Amino acid sequence: MKLNVYLAGEIHTSWREEIIAECEAQKLDITFTAPVTDHGASDDCGVEILGAEEDKFWHDSKGANLNSIRTRKAIKDADVVVVRFGEKYRQWNAAFDAGFAHALGKSLIVLQMDEHQHALKEVDAAAQAVCSTPSQVAKCLSYVLTGQLG
C-alpha cells in the first residue's frame, strides 16, 4: 500500500517538514503534496502572471483561483488530507479545504491547538483522527501503512 497525503492549512511553521521527516525516517511509501507555502507568491501569483488589478478584491480573486488549480488537483489525488489550524489568521481556507475533501470521501486528520477544540468541533466530527502534534500525525500515517504501533 502507498498513500497520497495532502498537507493543508497553516503555512508559517515547520509542521509539514516535521511530519515528512518522521515519515521518511521510517521509509514509509507516502507522496506528500501541499499548497504553495511561499506566502508572497501565493498572494500575488494571479496579478504577477495575468496582469495587475487596482481593486484588492480582484487581485485576491485572481490569485485564489490560480492557487485552486493546485489545491483541487492535490486533494482529488489524495487518500488522506491533513488539515493544520495554527495560531494566527482566520484560516477559513483550511476549513474550506477540509469540507471539500470530506465531501469527496477523503480521510481527514486534523492537527489543532487545544484552545481551538470547541471552534473546530464540526471539522473534528468529520475527521478520522484529531492530533495535537505533528508527530502524532506521522504516527497515524505510519500505523495506517504498516499496521504496526511504534
Given candidates 23, 62, 82, 84, which one binds a copy of itself under the rule CB under 8 A? 62
For residue 122, state whether it binds a copy of itself (rule: CB under 8 A): yes
For residue 111, state whether it binds a copy of itself (rule: CB under 8 A): no
The distance in angstroms from the start CA to the end CA of the chain is 18
SS3 for 120?
Answer: coil
**What is the C-alpha to C-alpha distance for residues 132 and 114, in angstroms, rounded to an integer?**
7
**What is the C-alpha to C-alpha distance for residues 21 and 119, in angstroms, rounded to an integer?**
30
For residue 70, state whether it binds a copy of itself (rule: CB under 8 A): yes
For residue 27, state whether it binds a copy of itself (rule: CB under 8 A): no
Contact between 9 and 83 (Cβ < 8 Å) = yes
Contact between 85 and 57 (Cβ < 8 Å) = no
For residue 81, state whether it binds a copy of itself (rule: CB under 8 A): no
13 vs 89 by CB, closer to a copy of itself: 89
Q: How many residues bind a copy of itself (CB under 8 A)?
A: 85
27 vs 103 by CB, closer to a copy of itself: 103
**What is the C-alpha to C-alpha distance for residues 104 and 71, in angstroms, rounded to an integer?**
14
For residue 88, state whether it binds a copy of itself (rule: CB under 8 A): no
For residue 41, state whether it binds a copy of itself (rule: CB under 8 A): yes
For residue 48, state whether it binds a copy of itself (rule: CB under 8 A): yes
